[in-house]
Amino acid sequence: MIPTFVFVHGSGSSAHSWTAIQREMAARGHRTLAIDLPGRGAGFTRAYHEQDLETFAAEPSMMSDVTAGDFVRQVVEAVQRMRHHGPVFLVAHSFGGLPVTAAANAVPELIDRVVYIAAQCPVDRAPGEYPASPAWSSSALFPATAPLLVGDPSRQGFVRVNWRGADRAQRDALRQAIAAELTEEEFLQIVVTSQPDEVFWLTGQEWDLRADKDSWGRIPRTFVRLTQDRSMPLAAQDLYIAEGDALTPDNPFDVHDLASSHAGFFRRTAGLAAILDALSVRAGAGSR
């Protein structure tokens, strides 16, 4: 049977980010669904749109009340609905790997393959500990976003980034960190839809987001390494792969390399679509 690809976006993003990928997959005959995680896809406040910074800084955020469980339930519900139509391939990008891993822990029997695209897959430690590890030390993302942070996340209970407030030099630093192969105009299409608020619960009690050997560990899985990624360095991607393989050596990651930055593949879609297409064809051949 033809699988459904369920796409889960990364931090500061939404289902909209997958639009071009979905077009390419549809042209190849595939069924897809891109979901909005809680707090995504609802648009922007007037203060953010108009850059009324005083009002914007003082606005509350629904992300302060969103829990890891809310994210995981959203993914699980999407999987349950799509499973009625046949096999499900669950695809995560970046931060989206956290709820996807937890969903795979929860309903492994409903998922036929998990695909991580430079996505977080915590195994040996809490999710928030990985970005502080040496494997992440060369990331250009944190220095690029630091000048755009609004307020104190530890006090607010959420992270707020003023993407629209970036001047030309700051936008170029962001582009180099996130999607260096894109033109400035192409990158602006990403920035204009980036969500300003994000959750702030990556440490402490969120150990349930780690991969579980007996559930997650029995699902076939793929990791797409983005070889030009300056946001999640290759060393960080390889760390997730190595830990996952050590957890279930009899079911290692199926690893593919894609010459892309962290987000460039959203506009240069052919490479990723070819990888996903081949996974689908392989799954179909195996079911005969």
Distance CA 100, CA 105 (A): 9
- Which residue matches tokens 């391939």? 89
**Does residue 138 surpass a pLDDT of 70?**
yes
* Confidence (pTM): 0.94
pLDDT the model gives residue 212: 96
The span from the CA of 11 to the CA of 32, in Å, is: 20
pLDDT in tens, 62-79: 888 888 889 999 999 999
What are the structural domains of the chain? 4-286 (3.40.50.1820)
pLDDT digits (tens, 9 = 90+) for 15-57: 999 999 999 999 999 999 999 999 886 678 999 999 999 999 9
Model confidence pLDDT, tens digit, residues 196-214: 999 886 544 544 789 999 9
Mean per-residue pLDDT of the chain = 92
Question: Sign of torsion, CA 21 25 27 32?
Answer: negative
Average pLDDT over residues 201-230: 86
Instruction: Specify the higher pLDDT residue, 148 or 284.
Output: 148
Q: What is the pLDDT of residue 204?
A: 43
For residue 259, give the 3-state DSSP assignment: coil
pLDDT at 284 over 70: no
What single string gives the DSSP state of each residue in 168-227? HHHHHHHHHHH-TTS-HHHHHHHHTT--SEEE---STTGGGGSPPTTTGGGS-EEEEEET
Q: Which residue has the higher pLDDT, 8 or 287?
A: 8
- Alpha carbons within 13 A on the beta-carbon side of 257: 5
Helix (H) or strand (E) holding 160: strand 158-160
Distance CA(99)–CA(120), nearest Å, equals 9
pLDDT at 286: 53
